Structure 1
């Protein structure tokens, strides 16, 4: 019997967006097990704590993974992405692409990661036209200024953003 196909989908997910949902759904179609890794960077001050982000990811991604027939694990990591992928038994590293700028950066990262860990294969998943402009940074900025971000995030994330930033 072959080992489960495991994919590692890393990011900051601060907050999870509809773009992240698209990538998670596509990744769950490719893998038997999807591990979503929240990167912890000591120099960054995220809007949501790691625990809050893990809670949102489980709430939003678990039904998607189940629909696609994959199991889901949500973890934090503070190591190199390829080391975290290997630690969790993943041989696929999932990266979403919105545009050519993302592609240029991600190609460099994929090349470096391939040298660091040849057993981990980077897979690029393109965003749909509706998700291409969505970034967590813009979602945070719009929400902080009282704007409506309901078109950009799942309802569970919207509820947390609305609690954090009541509309003016």
Structure 2
């Protein structure tokens, strides 16, 4: 399962997120406070509603997505300023700003996703936000951070090709 998920990330999801991610960065858009996407209806035969918990530095926010073939969850989440923890049906997404901060932090100190996630979880718990399972945030945060960093590298490579 992990191998299939890693393949899906690298072959399908990350390449499809490059343009939305670059648009997000170019526009300087900050995460939305809307709890639904407000997308216009499409003609896809199967539309599924997906609830996603979005993790920001000082709060959690539930958003509802209408997911279909032409509007994948990952793309919609990037447009909301968050990065999915799973390639197709994510239950959690992490703020792009937070991921950028942590990636930069880990350049200057020894990477420790467990400590970061435990600190963030405690910080949010004090503010009244709870996670359902122990270590739930750590595993999903680590997954989001890893794939976010891959996306940033892909975008950097693409920009280098254009500039050169």
TM-score (norm 2): 0.30
Q: Choose between structure 1 and 2: higher strand proportion.
A: 1
Q: Choose between structure 1 and 2: higher helix proportion.
A: 2
TM-score (norm 1): 0.30
Query: Comparing both chains, which one has the higher relative contact order based on Cα–Cα distances under 8 Å and sequence gaps of 6 or more?
Result: 1
